[in-house]
Amino acid sequence: MPEPMTLQAFLETSGADDPAVDQVVAVMAGASREIAATIQLGTLAGRMGDARGNQNADGDEQKALDVIAHDTFTEALRRAPVALVASEESDSTVTLDADAPLAVALDPLDGSSNIDTNVSIGTIFSILPARPGTDGEASFLVPGREQLGAGFIIYGPQVSLVMTVRKGTHIFTLDPARGEFRLAQQDVRIHPARTEYAINASNYRHWDECVRTYIDDCLAGEDGPLGANFNMRWIASMVADAYRILVRGGIFLYPGDQRRGYQQGRLRLLYEANPMALVFEEAAGAATDTVNRILDIKPRNLHQRTPLVFGSADKVERVARYHTDPSHDFTRSPLFSHRGLLRV
Ligand SMILES: O=P(O)(O)OC[C@H]1O[C@](O)(COP(=O)(O)O)[C@@H](O)[C@@H]1O
Ligand SMILES: [Mg+2]
Ligand SMILES: [Mg+2]
């Protein structure tokens, strides 16, 4: 069997139209090896899940590894043609080389609540054109459809890079002995038939009627309106849920809910929803804010949150229909009705 292609060779033959974009992907992959090595050591490398006593721009408590990952990727991006970085862990944008053509939005460490639990965590990135002559934020406050590339790294049983430069979505896995990422799956296509959903069901009572009804319908299984038995998974690291859905299908939901500060959900548009949306659309999937296409949303600020639904296109579209179709019958099943006897 021929050896799978290295990331470098792949980028040379099938990379972006603009080699600057490939350079960013290569630098992100390179720096991720350092973070992977730190994660593999767990507490032997120090107490990575300890709070640093700071909050990030979004009010989340920063963990030691959040800050290490932010510093590592931001420094590494100095070796790529990057003008600006926007990061979950920085209130404002960071200028690297003002004349460079690209801007990168980063979630340096996704799934921070899992750092101490030996569960997969990751890094998410989005590549945009830099807009010279404007303030730092202007390059980022554009709809996600303007992304030139995007991807994520997952630090799991395997360290993998999922990336797109708008020519399909591809998966590379780190060969630790050689320190090289090699092609694991080219042109991923999401399995449409898989009946599996990912949602933090502990928030059920806070969701709106449409989200509850969709999940009720999944729970109703083959006797319900979806006519199929659904399985459930929730890892609380979006990268891990996303990877699973990419390779075997399903749907991910983090909707807005009634908790204070959660009206727009938890996930951030620029460095979580947009890159995931591009990766999934390039793999024949879809991503919405429950109704609207994520990639068409014009951001108002760097750390804006958005409800997020992504995965197999038919399932994502169905969730949108539950929100938009006024004829949708919430009362059709007495057992699962929120207007029925069980929930007056
Ligand atoms: O703890 P909850 O509310 O289930 O939220 C889990 C979600 O939050 C996140 O951890 C947010 O990302 P960060 O860890 O980068 O803040 C996602 O990875 C995950 O899907
Ligand atoms: Mg995150
Ligand atoms: Mg994060």
Within 10 angstroms of residue 56's Cβ, the number of other Cβ atoms is: 20
Helix, strand, coil: what percent of the chain each, to 5? 40, 25, 40
Q: 50 or 65: which carries more pLDDT confidence?
A: 65
CA contacts within 13 A on the Cβ side of 128? 27
Report the pLDDT averaged over residues 73-102: 97
Fold (topology level) of 7-185? Fructose-1,6-Bisphosphatase; Chain A, domain 1 (3.30.540)
Q: Is 238 in the pocket of ligand 1 (CB under 6 A)?
A: yes
Burial class (CB in 10 A: 0-12, 13-18, 19+), 190: buried
**CA-107 nearest atom, ligand 1:** 15
C-alpha closest to that of 174 among 303, 318, 337, 35: 35
Check pocket membership of 7 for ligand 1, CB cut-off 6 A: no
Phi-psi region of 93 (alpha: psi -120 to 50; beta: other; left: phi over 0): beta
pLDDT top residue among 118 and 58: 118
What is 196-343's CATH topology?
A: D-Maltodextrin-Binding Protein; domain 2 (3.40.190)
- Where do the structural domains in the chain lie, given as residue ranges? 7-185, 196-343
pLDDT at 341 (0 to 100): 33
Confidence (pLDDT) at 344 = 22
Q: Given this model, what pLDDT does residue 132 score?
A: 83
342 labelled ligand-binding: no
Q: Which residues are catalytic?
A: 60, 66, 88-89, 107, 109-110, 272
Cα separation, 340 vs 344, whole angstroms: 6
Closest residue by Cα to residue 167 from 283, 248, 270: 283
Nearest CA-CA partner of 309 in 254, 236, 245, 267: 254
In the prediction, which pLDDT does 134 show? 79
In the predicted model, is pLDDT for residue 140 greater than 50?
yes
Q: Are 239 and 122 in contact (CB under 8 A)?
A: yes
Q: Tens of pLDDT along 172-210?
A: 999 999 999 999 999 999 998 899 999 999 999 999 999
List, for residues 288-339, the tens digit of each pLDDT value.
999 999 999 999 999 999 999 999 999 999 999 999 986 766 545 444 444 3
- Distance (Å, whole) CA 258 – CA 34: 39
CB of 120 shorter than 6 A to ligand 1: no
